[in-house]
Amino acid sequence: MAQFEEVSKKSALHPKPTGLTLQYGTAGFRTTANHLDHVMFRMGLLATLRSKKTKSTIGVMVTASHNPEEDNGVKLIDPMGEMVTPAWEGYATQLANAEQEALCTVLKDIIEKEAIDMSEAASVVTGRDTRPSSENLSRAVLDGVSCLEGQSLDFGLVTTPQLHYMVLCSNTSGCYGTATTQGYYEKLSKAFIELTKNAPKRTDDQKRLLVDGANGIGALKMREMEAFLKSELQVELFNDGSSGKLNYLCGADYVKVQQKPPQGMHMGPGQRCCSFDGDADRIVYYYNDSAGRFHLLDGDKIATLISTYLKELLTQAGLNLQVAVVQTAYANGSSTQYLENVMKVTVCCTKTGVKHLHHAAQEFDIGVYFEANGHGTVLFSKKAEEKIQQLAKDPNASDEKKLSAKLLENTVNLINQATGDAISDMLLIEAVLAIRGMTVQEWDAIYTDLPNRQLKVKVADRRVIDTTDAERRAVTPAGLQDSIDALVKKYKQARAFVRPSGTEDVVRVYAEADTQENVDGLAHQVSLAVY
Ligand code: NG1
Ligand code: ZN
């Protein structure tokens, strides 16, 4: 077939370094940028096949999120804006690792296995972050798409969640929104402005927010968004990419892991601040108190704020819808306790990686999911959306109920349900704080985090560690879990676990205990047990 000849010919322009093997991990492929050209070309091929198979638009995002600027990565986005299914992750790995001469055979195997009709049309949308390598790499993706005669639309510089949104809009005939960045800004800003009308007394000072853009795409897109917000949010942007290096000493991952403010931000006492990560799908908040002490409000605090707000509105509206919060093993123990015992919401724990949380959240009427690192969103079931819409226009409903339903309706519109989105989450948090008349300190005081520590350990082969129970217990190597259990017993309110990272060649150690000194000791001892 002519298409395969084209693949053979073009793939020679995107040669695979012999012997290099990579794996489609938690967030797609990620490694040093100069090892990725062939992977990009091949992901263009695979996205085209996926599009033919699903008869839908598929997304390909070129980014390595919070990784250093020299890295890059790629991930595929499925029709409803979610991560690609596990079987196709497997195909992605096979295709990326096929030596040059075996490429067409692997491609044909996938086509056969999935019974793909190659005469189907295909449509692929692409996007990229601001890494210097991203432009060429996304060109390689487009090369792959054109080889198999797929249609492509390159959105160029967009945040990861913006591309997820484009995919979802494209496959729902515009019902979710218009598949343009303009459509995205208009949808979100309209909902935000409607919500903040319920907080008419907000002062300019309360509208002020300091944003660390991680020197990445989020900063660029925040500048574009600002014009649509009509001063209802007054953003002061730091690390906007004009001089600093992407993710270097800044961004959500740095702030969360180091538990300190990003460099280059001038925060006054009590000033509300937030950080995006390198592709703007994560956000964390923080402030310095009057004594200069740093306070972090991570994904767990965000999930708590949002679920409290939703529960209150549902009660006021008299709507019987179940709210659940989905977390991972990294969720601070205090947050889980607060959610279960005080808020009385269902809490479930999944493996790390948004696809697991997203999947679990789909099981509920309203599923709030957040990783502690600030990656998350809220999913509303069809039933929940319909009930809210019906009540909002019910002529017999009381004014109070109607108002709550309207607030819920605008909240739904403000949320990017395709994936966690720093810009959308930020606007939601700002709206909730405004409506509830809450300061960042009051939000922080909902519960007190247990001191915690995350460490990375380099080992010869991280895959020797296998885990169970949503990654909270190690099954192999033999004896490791017993050692961890023995160490944890020595401390109060302690918990610890280890797991191999899905995005870096390291083993991650996490620990919690009653004091920072104790938890630092525990994390260190656990990291020694890993060797
Ligand atoms: P790994 O490297 O598997 O721990 C990290 C984050 C995940 C997720 C992915 C994708 C932590 C502990 N892990 O995964 O939560 O965000 O990157 O970006 O933060
Ligand atoms: Zn990210």
Ligand 1 and 371: CB distance under 6 A: yes
- In this prediction, residues 60-80 reach a mean pLDDT of 97
Cα distance between residue 295 and residue 287, in whole Å: 5
Centre of ligand 2 to C-alpha 373, Å, is: 10
Which CATH number does the domain 299-415+428-436 belong to among 3.40.50, 1.10.260, 3.30.70, 3.40.120?
Answer: 3.40.120
Ligand 2 centroid – CA 116 distance (Å): 32
The predicted-structure confidence for 315-332, as pLDDT tens digits, reads as follows 999 999 999 999 999 999
What's the half-sphere exposure (Cβ side, CA atoms, 13 Å) at 299?
Answer: 34
Strand partners, 328: 350
| C-alpha span between 471 and 371 (Å, rounded) | 14
CA distances from 159 to 21, 164, 405, 471, 493 (A): 28, 9, 30, 29, 39
Verify whether ligand 1 is closer than 6 Å to residue 352 (CB atom): yes
Ligand number with the minimum distance to the CA of 26: 1
Dig out the tokens for 73 from the structure.
């990565």
DSSP calls for 323-378: EEEEEETTS-HHHHHIIIIIS--EEEEE-SSHHHHHHHHTTSSEEEEE-TTS-EEE
Helix, coil or strand: residue 427: helix
How many Å separate Cα 364 from the centre of its chain? 19
Specify the range with the lowest mean pLDDT, choosing from 80-84, 202-206, 347-351, 466-470: 202-206
Residue 201 pLDDT: 85
**In the predicted model, is pLDDT for residue 480 greater than 70?**
yes
Of 418, 425, 424, 388, the residue nearest 169 (C-alpha): 418
Domain extent listing, the chain: 2-157, 183-294, 299-415+428-436, 452-530
Ligand 2 center–CA 98 separation, angstroms: 28
pLDDT digits (tens, 9 = 90+) for 20-45: 999 998 889 999 999 999 999 999 99
What is the band of 199 on the pLDDT scale with cuts at 50, 70, 90? very high
CA–CA–CA angle 147, 179, 218 (5° rounding): 95
Q: Do domains 2-157 and 452-530 have the same CATH topology?
A: no
Say which amino acid occupies 276: F
Region 146-170: mean pLDDT is: 98
Binding site membership of 336 for ligand 1 (Cβ less than 6 Å): no
Nearest CA to ligand 1 atom 4: 501
Position 1 confidence tier, pLDDT thresholds 50, 70, 90:
low
**Residue whose tokens read 């000791």:** 521
Q: Can you read off the two tokens belonging to residue 239?
A: 């690390």
pLDDT of 504: 84
Per residue in 423-456, pLDDT tens? 999 999 999 999 999 999 999 999 999 999 999 9
The token duo for 248 is 């270097």
- 383 has pLDDT over 80: yes
In this model, does residue 469 exceed pLDDT 90? yes
pLDDT at 75 over 80: yes
C-alpha closest to that of 113 among 89, 96, 88, 93: 88
pLDDT digits (tens, 9 = 90+) for 111-139: 999 999 999 999 999 999 999 999 999 99
Fold of 2-157: Alpha-D-Glucose-1,6-Bisphosphate; Chain A, domain 3 (3.40.120)
Quote the strand ranges of 442-492, DSSP E.
452-457, 466-468, 473-476
ipTM more than 0.95?
yes
* Residue 91 backbone dihedrals phi, psi, to 5 degrees: -60, -40
Q: Which residues are catalytic?
A: 65
Tell me the average pLDDT across 409-421. 97
Q: Tens digit of pLDDT for each residue in 160-192?
A: 999 999 999 999 998 999 999 999 999 999 999
- Ligand 1 nearest atom to the CA of residue 375, by list position: 16
Is residue 502 scored above 90 in pLDDT? no
Nearest atom (ligand 1) to Cα of 353: 8
Fold classification of 452-530 is TATA-Binding Protein (3.30.310)
Compute the distance between CA of residue 256 and CA of residue 492 in angstroms, rounded to an integer: 23
C-alpha to C-alpha distances, 250 to 66, 233, 240, nearest whole angstrom: 10, 22, 11
Residue 505 has a pLDDT of 86
pLDDT: which is higher, 231 or 305:
305
- Considering the chain, what percentage of its residues have pLDDT values greater than 90? 95
- Looking at residue 193, its pLDDT comes to 97
What's the rounded Cα separation, in Å, for the pair 477 and 435?
51
Q: Is the pLDDT of residue 476 over 80?
A: yes
Phi, psi of 378 (to 5 degrees): -125, 135
Nearest atom of ligand 1 to the alpha carbon of 508: 4
Q: Euclidean distance between the first and final Cα of the chain, in Å?
A: 52
Q: Would you place residue 2 in the very low, low, confident or very high pLDDT band (cuts 50, 70, 90)? A: confident
Fold of 183-294: Alpha-D-Glucose-1,6-Bisphosphate; Chain A, domain 3 (3.40.120)
